[in-house]
């Protein structure tokens, strides 16, 4: 096999498929939609409950037990982040604010991956998105545990 043919094969192997590009473009569209909804919402002044503007019921944990759940304030944190109110977003739900940043950074990154088709860039983004999401969820859970440890029942 000639050197030129080997170079062509290596070049193709370093590109993601059209199907994967389409899936990543769809994911990018979903992230843009969720970020758009967050920008459209009015953050609830209580630091939680913003999700009710979307027709969802109040948090079951708060309604039944009077206690926040790990996701309480997550939608509010996204709405606050979209307004640039970072300190308030972190107070509403730290993990949610972190997830917002991951989504916000992912949109242009995924757009670039779709345009260029780089396998390496997709792999790096995958590690970023997965580790960032896991860290955000851990922080949301730890914040919830801290809430219980410092609350008086």
pLDDT at 8 over 90: no
In this prediction the pTM is 0.85
Q: Could you tell me the pLDDT band of residue 4, with boundaries at 50, 70 and 90?
A: low
Specify the residue for token string 């970020």.
35
What pLDDT does residue 6 have? 46
| Number of compact structural domains in the chain | 1
Domain that holds residue 112: 3-150
**Which run of H or of E encompasses 2?**
none
Beta carbons within 8 Å of 97's beta carbon, 6+ residues apart? 77, 78, 80, 81, 86, 89, 90
Phi, psi of 97 (to 5 degrees): -60, -40
């Amino acid at each position: 096999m000639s050197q030129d043919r080997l170079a062509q094969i290596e070049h193709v192997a370093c590109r993601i498929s059209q199907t994967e590009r389409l899936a990543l473009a769809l994911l990018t569209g979903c992230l843009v939609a969720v970020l758009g909804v967050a920008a459209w919402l009015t953050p609830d002044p209580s630091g939680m409950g913003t999700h009710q503007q979307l027709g969802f019921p109040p948090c079951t944990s708060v309604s039944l037990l009077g206690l926040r759940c790990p996701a309480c304030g997550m939608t509010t944190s996204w709405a606050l982040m979209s307004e640039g109110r970072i300190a308030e977003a972190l107070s509403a739900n730290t993990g949610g604010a972190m997830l917002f940043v991951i989504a916000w950074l992912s949109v242009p990154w995924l757009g670039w991956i779709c345009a260029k088709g780089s396998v390496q860039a997709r792999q790096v983004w995958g590690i970023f998105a997965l580790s960032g999401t896991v860290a955000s969820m851990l922080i949301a859970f730890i914040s919830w545990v801290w809430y219980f440890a410092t609350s008086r029942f």
